[in-house]
Amino acid sequence: MKYNLLHKTKYTYTNEVKGYHGLACIMPRTDENQSCQSNVITILPKPDELVMRTDMWGNKLHYFSINSPHKELEIRSESFIIKNSYDQIKIKPSITYGEALEILKTSVPIKAEVWPFLIQSPKISWSKNIEKYAAPSFQLETPLYDCIENLSSRIFHDFEFNAKFSDVNTPIEKVLKERKGVCQDFSHLAIACIRSMGIPARYISGYIETLPPPGKVKLQGSDASHAWFSANIPNVGWFEFDPTNNMVPGDQHIKTAYGRDYSDVVPVKGVMFTAGGHKLKVEVDLNRIIEN
């Protein structure tokens, strides 16, 4: 599958901004599941400095600074992506949860490699309540893949998708108590549950293609930023799950970055010098290329 992706972020400020220093994490990754063939980042007003770097996880970050006064800031990322043929369901391993724990316990190199995804992180911690919610999915004799899949499915069925309930700072404990949230919340909860069971898990940011109803035209900007997670099965690799949609991510999922949690992969963040507030508008268009 081939896609053209446009991600547009626009800030409108109530007062003039004297200067801005920003970081954008909006360039899709290239890995075993997809290839970002091209990416163009356009920023208006034109930045005085724009530098691309690669972080410790292999994500592409764009650092920029704008010294000229402005009342609007627009960041556009245009990408061409090829999704590789990959079906993780066909290769799911038979390693049990108990065997995975033993490997992590006895193999120092493996545990060292995944250590950042085993421990608490800025937005992911867990309590006895989270451990209690996770426990029914994790039986020692059950294949670890099935344990994680069961947890992801339970979150889908137990929780209500509610875009008005939470924001980027909503605690996982509140999401668990109220049984509602959005894709970011469900991914954070799943990761907290999996880590509390002693298994590495990481947060994935990206996009999901939205298909219109039959006979309807797809609306511009109707696609969405999305979040899901992957878990590590020792000696095998990372496997992805989407608890918001109760599915294994496939052709419709485009990966931007991964990290310990959302704080590692915020799409756009920065420091601005102004006395006023701002309004934010984000539009995403993920268009599949149909070849004759």
Residues 147-159: pLDDT tens digits? Answer: 999 999 999 999 9
Burial class (CB in 10 A: 0-12, 13-18, 19+), 177: exposed
Residue 85 has pLDDT above 60, yes or no: yes
Banded pLDDT at 276 (limits 50, 70, 90):
confident
**How far apart, in whole angstroms, are the C-alpha atoms of residue 52 and residue 272?**
20
215 pLDDT more than 70: no
First to last CA, the chain: 13
Contact yes or no for 145/187 (Cβ under 8 A)? no
Average pLDDT over residues 253-275: 93
- Most distant CA atoms of the chain, gap in Å: 62
Which distant-in-sequence residues (6+ apart) come within 8 Å of 58 by Cβ? 29, 31
Per-residue pLDDT tens digits for 182-193 = 999 999 999 999
Q: Binning pLDDT at 50, 70 and 90, where does residue 221 land?
A: very low
Sign of CA dihedral 270, 274, 277, 278: negative
What number of other Cβ atoms are within 10 A of residue 68's Cβ?
12
Mean pLDDT score, 88-106: 91
Residue 292: what pLDDT? 65
Band of pLDDT at residue 32, cut at 50, 70 and 90: confident
Average pLDDT of the segment spanning 67-78: 96
